[in-house]
Structure 1
Amino acid sequence: MARRIYTAPPDSGQVVLGKTLPDLLYEACERYAETQAFYELRGDGWIPVSLASFREQAEDLALGLRGLPLERGDRVAMFMESDVPFCIVDMACLLGGLIDVPIYLTHAAEALQYVIAHAEARALVVSNLTLLAQIAPVLRDTPTVETVIVGELEPGGRVPVLPEHVRLATLREMQAEGRGVRAADPGRLASLRAQIHPHDVATIIYTSGTTGTPKGVVLTHENISFNALTSFSGLAGYTDGEEVGASFLPLTHIFARTLQYGYLATGSTVYFTRPDRLSKDLQRIRPTFFATVPRVIEKVYGRILERATTLKGAQKQILNWAIALARRYELGREPKGFYKAQLALADRLVYVKWREALGGRIKYIISGGAALSGDLANFFAAAGIPILQGYGLTETSPVITYNRPYLNRAGTVGVPLPGVEVMIADDGEILTRGPHVMQGYFRDEERTREVIDDEGWFHTGDIGEFTDEGFLRITDRKKDMFKLSTGKYVVPQPLENRLVTEPLVEQAVVVGSGYKFCTALIFPEEDALRTFAASRGLDPAMPLEQLVREPVVLARYQELVDKANEGMDHWMQIKRFALVPAHLTVENGMLTPTLKVRRSRVREAFADQIRALYDGEAPEPRTAEPLAAGAS
């Protein structure tokens, strides 16, 4: 029997093809000439950058880069902060017919060297001397790099020693050289633009991934422009030229970058900020729209629940009542009668304050990069904060499916993008085909053939299913599933998702491959744990290693594990867990830049704790057994 191919429902957006990425800039300049499109974070404030200024700076730099000389199709590596200069350098490369290669700032030296060498980059752009000092040592082993361009030379800053053959320049110097080219040859820029084609390669993005060597994903102008323009066309209520966004995700990742092109094309104003400033900046920016990863939403939810534990009397009762109402809400089902009236009252008393904490003007939040709990989507929707969960990969530019403002279901990642086909393989793997699929992996035909079949279907490596309404639900990563020694397969994500929505849990990793039963490593949310400890009469200042061994603490986490186990097949349930006094971060290599857990590295780093969980192997208890574990 032929497998069903799923496509976008009617009136869910418009297919837009045939655009280069510079087309988006020039068309925006014609439509929104006076727009202050970008706000660059400087100190504790922002500096506005108009569309016209952005275009001029990108044009000057494009001419300067081509005068190095760099030839059409040459690669330019970018080791840059996620800010306006990143966008300028990116657009300059695109205008110049160059291929940019953004590099994650969290890469170790070995990965930095691999990406630059594998891409055969001829130029490298870095934001500042701090980043230059970080990457300079690897340039000895990347002989193709001939020019290093630094964004800012801080007064008195120390310039690291570079190989003799490498020229050092600043962005301003390159732009000045570009202005000289423009003056000497006024038609040069138009000539460069005329050579750009929608099917030209725009960028090579090396996926950080959760395992293995980085792969260079080759994306064209049309891959990305189609994805950005078609995605934004389905956002009902999004008003071109009027929206205000907050950008804090890494632009090295295709999720934030495609959104940035969408913002540009629609004349939106974007304030750049950082995750550590987000809480206070949202209230200053007052965005109508922003994109995030689920971990940020989970933390907001955790703070709400934690707040409920610190209040007393009537305030505590009102907040708990509002939380209980929000937990009952279900997207796609209109509230009625007394429940509807209760929600309206809760909105006036409580939910409005939650919205004010996000700036007070949020129309919706886009969530991507990892799975978001359906309970959280329902919870925030009840409070007038719609979260639109989407799904995609770097290899798909990235959007495959997403929930629309008027087509939103909790626990799903929405319906397909117009022009995109999605199919579920016999083994449950999600396949997709369309103009969003990459050209392949750079200089790696074997890996490309492994994921793109002869009919053009890209094999995502994710397992999923469609609901009766046509919404895609992700059940797990194909690679994350593991097999117990009993022969049963375990899907870890549902259990982990339940645990990380608890305020006391920062991260949870379910393990058990090759063993008789499942166990879990639980990494506590330290601030919430210390607050809990104080509420139970413990010293909240005691070392974390000691705190996780306290019986009252272990008992509380056992309650959370037992709650997560409810309704799960018995072989999927967590039988033992270790409470680990450590933090998983991007900086220590345990998380990807989109905050997904690198399972293999966690298993390696905490191998002793995992072995301790299986000492004596055995149990078939109905509740999990706690074990406090030291950090590695």
Structure 2
Amino acid sequence: MQYVAEHAEIDALVVFNPKRLAQAAEILPDLPRIDTVVLCDPGDAEDERPELPDRVEVLTLDAVQERGRTSVDDQAAAIEELRAQIDADDLATIIYTSGTTGRPKGVMLSHENISSNAITSVGQLDDFETGPEGEVVISFLPLTHVFARMLQYAFVYRGVSVYFVHPDNLVEALPKVRPTVFASVPRVLEKVYAGIKKKVMAMTGIQKSIGEWGLEVAQEYDMTEPGSALYKAKHAIADRLVFRKWRAALGGRVKYIVVGGAALQPDLANILSAAGITALQGYGLTETSPVITYTRPWRNKPGTVGEPLPGVEVKIADDGEILTRGPHVMQGYYKAPEKTDEVIEDEGWFHTGDIGEFDEEGFLKITDRKKDLFKLSTGKYVMPQPIENRMGSDPLVDNAVVVGSDRKFCTALVFPNQDQVRAQAKEFGLDPEQAIDDLLAEPDIVNAFRSIVQGANEGMDHWSTVKRFALIPDELTVESDLLTPTLKIRRPKVHEAYADEIEALYYEGDEPPGDRTERGAVLVEV
């Protein structure tokens, strides 16, 4: 917070609640430009506010809105004059990238950057009902992220209702709001699906049999193929017995889930589609406002991120990097022209840093991040994301990080989904209440994870397969700074935090010197 405040030279700070105000109080003495703090939710602790510098005025959001209403009445002409001076190319916002490495960069986006992206994106939804009686949107992604910001503008532009909820309250809010559209990152959807599987595993008797059968029917679904008459009959029955309950858990009316921030696994896209929910996968970056490509309802291909938006150009460089040009590309990095020149060519092509390819139908596929590519000591290059995505598609795996730079072979740090591990332990007849590091050392649990890694290795280049892995009894979180706000892994920080585990994976010989590290991680040979 302090770095961004200093770098952007801000005069006012908006905080959500008293907890955030207390955090701001620690740095405000070192930020002399700031003289106003807006507190969105004052809570019940008026008398417990932290001590702030005398220059700082604290306003509630209600007070700011009242001042705005007064200004509209008293200064209408002045406001209109200011509005008339704004040009489409003027700076609208600076969004600081969460960044997986280094300090965040301030991305300068103009009014045209954002408005063109928002209007064009929502315009691709041909059956999107507008106005007060139209679609109902629920928003739970952080508005500090460009994906949520752009969608907010797009939905308001189309005149529909947007309900904002905290992610912690999402489950309770869905049946009340009953949204028809919402945006998500893949990790949230993966957790929702893992939760469904967990509930099925906990069932008994005929209910469990029906639930497991419904999962099998969903897993067989392929939105690109019509399916046989027999499958269609099975699907119709599964829809009545199983899928309608899934839809009900999301409020019962969801038509679209707009997915961004990372790649959605093809299997999960098909499973959602089997349940009557269309997942529209998009691709972009903060620097591109953000959407570059996305799948349309009538042209939706799992495993891809769709086709370019109208007016957006995309090409693949000789080294496989995705380049893009158009009205969506940022003005540059704030106070960093040299960094801007590194990513935007004179002809306007922006270097995304992602590796990808177009398939024969013109759909873009992302294969990896250029900066994530690493080289083994043998000289072979490894793209870690494909195998990480395979491992992460299993409900038992929360996150997986493949490592191996300058090493002879690849290994992985595997962060289990602890709730799923306990549910699996119960299935194996183990005590699910024992300490998680003890559970991870149980032979049945180890073998379950070994099977996951072996399955992820299948069909991969032999040098990119994982030879050993560590089961880490921790969770990667945004609060620990090991995940970005959109749940992407901060690789360098994970490598640093788990350097001992990585080193332990590269032991000499066929057997590890011990079955656990000091942190309690379990070392496993594939």
Question: Given the two structures, how large is their TM-score scaled by the length of structure 2?
Answer: 0.94
Distance 1:354 1:179 in 2: 44
Distance 2:59 2:447 in 1: 60
AA in 1 matched with 2:109: L
Q: Which residue in 2 is equivalent to 1:412?
A: 304
Indicate how the Cα distance of structure 1 residues 184 and 504 shifts in structure 2: closer, same or farther if over 3 A, else same.
closer
**Hey, what does 1:214 align to over in structure 2?**
104
Query: Cα distance, 1:186 vs. partner?
Result: 3.8
User: 1:181 deviation in Å?
Assistant: 4.3
Contact 1:129 1:157 in 2 (8 A): no
Q: Summarize the alignment of residues 562-601 of structure 1 with structure 2, pairs less than 5 Å apart.
A: 562-601=454-493
Kindly state the Cα deviation for residue 618 of structure 1 after the two structures are TM-superposed.
Answer: 7.1
Q: Equivalents in 2 of 1:451, 1:575: separation in Å?
A: 36
**Does residue 529 of the first structure (1) align with residue 421 of the second (2)?**
yes
Q: How far apart, in 1, do the equivalents of 2:125 and 2:149 lie?
A: 18
- Decide whether the 8 Å contact of 1:579 with 1:626 is kept in 2: no
Q: Please report how far the alpha carbon of residue 166 of structure 1 lies from its aligned counterpart in structure 2 after TM superposition.
A: 3.3
- 1:443 and 1:353, CA in 2 relative to 1: closer, same or farther beyond 3 A? same
Task: Give the CA deviation at 1:261.
Answer: 0.6
Structure 2: distance between partners of 1:152 and 1:309: 40
* Bigger shift: residues 603-612 or 268-277: 268-277
> How much does 1:537 deviate?
2.1
Which residue is 1:303 aligned to? 195
| 1:359-370 alignment runs, 5 A limit | 359-370=251-262
Q: 1:152 to 1:313 in 2, by over 3 A?
A: closer
The answer to whether residue 7 in structure 2 is matched with residue 115 in structure 1 is no
User: How is 1:310-329 mapped onto 2 (pairs within 5 angstroms)?
Assistant: 310-329=202-221
1:236 to 101, 104, 126: 126
Q: Distance in 2 between matches of 1:414 and 1:182?
A: 43
Q: Shift of residue 155 of structure 1?
A: 4.9
- Counterpart CA distance in 1 for 2:448 and 2:138 is 37
For 1:133 and 1:489, locate their aligned partners in 2 and report how far apart those are by CA, in whole Å: 47
Farther-moved stretch of structure 1 (594-603 vs 562-571): 562-571
Match of 2:90 among 185, 200, 204: 200
Q: 1:631 Cα shift?
A: 5.3
Q: Of 113, 130, 135, which residue of structure 1 is paired with 2:24?
A: 135
1:223 aligned residue: 113
- Hey, what's the Cα distance between the residues in 1 that align with 2:375 and 2:17? 47
- Separation in 2 of the partners of 1:320 and 1:181? 60
Q: Segments of 4+ in structure 1 off by > 6 A?
A: none
Partner residue, 2:287: 395
**Cα distance, 1:628 vs. partner?**
4.7
Matches within 5 A, 1:79-118: 112-118=1-7
Task: Give, as a single letter, the amino acid of the residue that structure 1 aligns with 2:29.
Answer: R
For 2:114 and 2:258, locate their aligned partners in 1 and report how far apart those are by CA, in whole Å.
Answer: 18
Match of 1:471 in 2: 363
Query: TM-score when scaled to structure 1?
Result: 0.79
| Residue 609 of structure 1, CA deviation | 0.6
Aligned residue in 1 for 2:319: 427
Q: 1:579·1:627 contact (CA, 8 Å) conserved in 2? A: no
**Given that residues 516 and 617 in structure 1 are in contact (C-alpha distance below 8 angstroms), is that contact kept between their aligned partners in structure 2?**
no
> 2:249 maps to what in 1?
357
Choose between structure 1 and 2 for higher RCO, CA contacts under 8 A separated by at least 6 residues.
Answer: 1
User: Counterparts of 1:312 and 1:628 in 2: how far apart (Å)?
Assistant: 36
Whole-Å separation in 2 of the counterparts to 1:270 and 1:180: 25
Residues 478-535 of structure 1, C-alpha deviation per residue, up to 9 Å, x if partnerless?
Answer: 0111111111111111111111121111111111111111111111111111111122
Q: In structure 2, how many angstroms separate the alpha carbons of the residues matched to 1:528 and 1:116?
A: 41
CA deviations over 1:115-147 (Å, ceiling 9, x no partner): 111101122222333211111221222222233
2:502 paired with 1:613: no
Q: Which residue of 1 aligns with 2:524?
A: none
Instruction: Provide the rounded CA distance (Å) in 1 between the counterparts of 2:67 and 2:351.
Output: 45
User: 2:244 aligns to what SS in structure 1?
Assistant: helix
Q: CA deviation at 1:174?
A: 4.0
Measured after TM superposition, the shift of residue 338 of structure 1 is: 1.8
Q: Which amino acid aligns with 2:9?
A: E
Distance 1:287 1:152 in 2: 24
Secondary structure of 1:137's counterpart equals helix
Which residue of the partner structure matches residue 79 of structure 1?
Answer: none
SS in 2 for 1:510: strand
Relative distance call for 1:229 and 1:183 in structure 2 (3 A) is closer
| The 10-residue stretch of structure 1 (528-537 or 446-455) with the greater mean CA deviation from structure 2 | 528-537
CA distance in 2: counterparts of 1:367 and 1:128, whole angstroms: 28
2:237 equivalent to 1:348: no
Is the 8 Å Cα contact of residues 554 and 628 (structure 1) preserved in structure 2?
no
- 1:584 offset after TM fit, Å? 0.3
**1:284 aligned partner:** 176
Confirm or deny: 8 A CA contact 2:109 2:289 kept in the other structure: yes
- CA contact under 8 A between 1:301 and 1:501: conserved in structure 2? no
Cα deviation digits, residues 156-200 of structure 1 (max 9, x gap): 332322234434444444444445544544422222221222111
Distance 1:417 1:522, change over 3 A: same
May I ask how many residue pairs the two structures share in their alignment? 517
More displaced 10-residue stretch of structure 1: 530-539 or 182-191: 182-191
> Structure 1 unaligned runs (5+)?
1-111
1:254/1:398 contact within 8 Å kept = yes
Structure 1 distance, partners of 2:268, 2:326, is: 31
Deviations 1:536-581 (A, max 9, x none): 2222111112211122211111111111111111111110010000
User: Is 1:557 aligned to residue 449 of structure 2?
Assistant: yes
Aligned-partner residue type, residue 12 of structure 2: A
1:149 to 38, 42, 50: 38
Counterpart of 1:127, as a letter, is F
Larger deviation, residues 126-135 vs 427-436:
126-135
Q: Secondary structure at the match of 1:465?
A: strand
SS of structure 2 residue aligned to 1:130: helix
Q: Which amino acid aligns with 1:234?
A: Q
The residue aligned with 1:16 is none
522-531 vs 328-337, greater mean Cα deviation = 328-337
Distance (whole Å) between structure 2 residues aligned to residue 555 and residue 475 of structure 1: 29
Contact 2:200-2:211 within 8 A present in 1 as well: yes
* 1:214 maps to amino acid: P
Aligned equivalents of 1:377 and 1:237: distance in 2? 20
Q: Would you say 1:459 and 2:351 are equivalent positions? A: yes
Aligned to 1:496: 388
The one-letter code of the counterpart of 1:269 is S
**Residues 253/631 of structure 1: CA separation in 2 closer, same or farther (3 Å cut):** farther
Percent identical residues: 57
Moved more, 335-344 or 424-433: 335-344
Unaligned 5+ segments in structure 2 are 522-526
One-letter identity of the residue aligned with 2:470: A
